[in-house]
């Protein structure tokens, strides 16, 4: 069934039986189909039409996904005390309220809400909600090992994988804080594509495949997001002015990559591009963009363009890449270590909010981040510069789904020949 057919089906159901249940289903379908304006209008229409807490919390979640942070905050603050007797629901509503407060720039209010959720009181809840079929038996055997605010001197710490690769790249900055507190040994679980980079990163870690294999041996286990709540006491501390991931001097790029980088070296500015994500998170379909949206930039900026866009390319993407003589490096990238070494040879990366952008920031490589109106909470309400990365510049949508103004702003900045 096509998106249009699905929208028609849910619209018909909403017309037959107009209530909060069919409204929520229709809002979600509009949202996922990229019909942002229609979804926003319907969400606003229903914001004061129901008093049922769970339904209101679900509506607020959809609002948050649509970048409607202020109305979502109001609803969630009303709902939170009403669901206090249900641990699972309370946990989810409180976490979502923290998310929208971060997005509104209310860091300290958000942190007060989020940090306790990583404490002992909520371990069984978050482990159950995040486990397959809600089977958290793996956690219950080790629940006394959750790291919250205990001293770590002389202890063995296990950092489990949580979130995506971009999250790990961003939040791995806290590993050295554990070392500074005296941790004796730090295990870090990482997916295969990231392992060689992490092994050679200079971080004081032992990289492992699966966190569960080190559960028995460790004194405490934690996650990168939990370390964020432990160490990030304000939006600006700790600040990473320098790169915090090292690169191996002995790493050799695949021959095809070396050849393409060598052959396409006209002396012009070299710009890498990433325009969509392969992962389906809550911010899609708005986090990603069509390559066609970048056509005005490709046509007007005098530079050599290199694609770091992984995954299968559409016929339209191939045609546009050929039209603007974009060099496709992605098929030859075998790991994030390869990507990091490629970024060292580019002058600038233009990227949506995905792992390559975090990799560039962690290496202090110039990167311009194209953000949807409904962006991740880590970007707070910063307009151009972010405390996360000194080499990153933000370009935000003013209206959800509209990349035109973002591309126009980048063209204007590039005309100044200032990629910093």
pLDDT tens, N- to C-terminus, the chain (420 residues): 457 889 999 999 999 999 999 999 999 999 999 999 999 999 999 999 989 999 999 999 999 999 999 999 999 999 999 999 999 999 999 999 999 999 999 999 999 999 999 999 999 999 999 888 999 998 999 999 999 999 999 999 999 988 899 999 999 999 999 999 999 999 999 999 999 999 999 999 999 987 777 888 899 999 999 999 999 999 988 776 788 999 999 999 999 999 999 999 999 999 999 999 988 788 899 999 999 999 999 999 999 999 999 999 999 999 999 999 999 999 999 999 999 999 999 999 999 999 999 999 999 999 999 999 999 999 999 999 999 999 999 999 999 999 999 999 999 999 975 444
Q: What is the CB neighbour count within 10 angstroms for residue 71?
A: 19
What's the pLDDT at 4?
84
Q: What is the CB neighbour count within 10 angstroms for residue 204?
A: 14
What's the pLDDT at 307?
98
Asked whether 246 and 200 are in contact (CB, 8 A), the reply is yes
Write out the E strands in 174-234. 185-189, 206-208, 220-223
Rounded distance between C-alpha atoms, residue 349 and residue 274, angstroms: 8
What's the pLDDT at 215?
85
What's the pLDDT at 417?
52
What's the pLDDT at 3?
79
The helix or strand, by DSSP H or E, that contains position 303, with its residue range, turns out to be strand 303-307
What's the pLDDT at 252?
96
Asked whether 192 and 383 are in contact (CB, 8 A), the reply is no
Sheet containing 220-223: order of strands: 206-208, 185-189, 156-160, 220-223
- Using CA atoms, how far residue 194 sits from 165, 177, 342, in Å, is 7, 21, 15
Asked whether 370 and 394 are in contact (CB, 8 A), the reply is no
What's the pLDDT at 419?
47
Whole-structure pTM value:
0.95
What's the pLDDT at 2?
56
Q: What is the CB neighbour count within 10 angstroms for residue 65?
A: 22
What's the pLDDT at 270?
97
**327 closest CA partner among 344, 342, 313, 306:** 306
């Amino acid at each position: 069934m096509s998106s249009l057919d699905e929208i028609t089906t849910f619209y018909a159901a909403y017309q037959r039986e107009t209530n909060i249940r069919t409204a929520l289903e229709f809002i979600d379908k509009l949202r996922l189909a990229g019909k942002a304006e229609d979804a926003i209008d319907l969400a606003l229409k229903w914001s004061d039409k129901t008093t049922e807490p769970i339904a209101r919390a679900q509506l607020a979640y959809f609002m948050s996904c649509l970048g409607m942070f202020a109305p979502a905050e109001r609803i969630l603050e009303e709902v939170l005390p009403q669901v206090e007797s249900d641990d699972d629901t309370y946990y989810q509503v409180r976490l979502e309220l923290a998310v929208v407060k971060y997005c509104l720039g209310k860091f300290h209010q958000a942190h007060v809400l989020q940090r306790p959720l990583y404490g002992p009181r909520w371990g069984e809840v978050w482990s159950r909600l995040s486990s397959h079929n809600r089977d958290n038996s793996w956690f219950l055997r080790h629940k006394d090992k959750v790291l919250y605010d205990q001293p770590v001197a002389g202890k063995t710490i296990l950092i489990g994988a949580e979130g995506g690769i971009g999250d790990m790249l961003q939040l791995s900055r806290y590993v050295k804080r554990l070392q500074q507190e005296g941790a004796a040994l730090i295990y870090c679980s990482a997916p295969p594509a990231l392992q060689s980079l992490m092994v050679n990163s200079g971080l004081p870690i032992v990289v492992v495949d699966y966190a569960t294999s080190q559960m028995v041996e460790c004194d405490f286990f934690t996650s990168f997001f939990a370390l964020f709540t432990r160490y990030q006491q304000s939006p600006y501390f700790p600040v990473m002015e320098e790169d915090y991931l090292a690169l191996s001097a002995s790493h050799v790029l695949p021959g095809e990559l070396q050849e393409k980088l060598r052959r396409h070296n006209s002396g012009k500015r070299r710009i890498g591009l990433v325009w969509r994500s392969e992962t389906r998170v809550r911010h899609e379909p708005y986090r990603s963009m069509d390559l066609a949206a970048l056509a005005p930039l490709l046509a007007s900026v005098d530079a050599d363009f290199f694609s770091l866009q992984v995954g299968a390319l559409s016929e339209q993407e191939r045609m546009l890449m050929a039209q603007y003589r974009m060099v496709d490096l992605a098929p030859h990238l075998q790991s994030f270590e390869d990507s990091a070494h490629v970024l060292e040879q580019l002058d600038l990366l233009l990227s949506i909010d995905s792992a390559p952008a975090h990799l560039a920031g962690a290496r202090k490589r110039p990167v311009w981040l194209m953000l949807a109106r409904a962006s991740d909470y880590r970007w707070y309400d910063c307009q151009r510069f972010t405390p996360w990365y000194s080499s990153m510049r933000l370009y935000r949508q003013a209206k959800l789904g509209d990349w035109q103004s973002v591309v126009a702003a980048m063209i204007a900045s590039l005309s100044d020949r200032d990629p910093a």
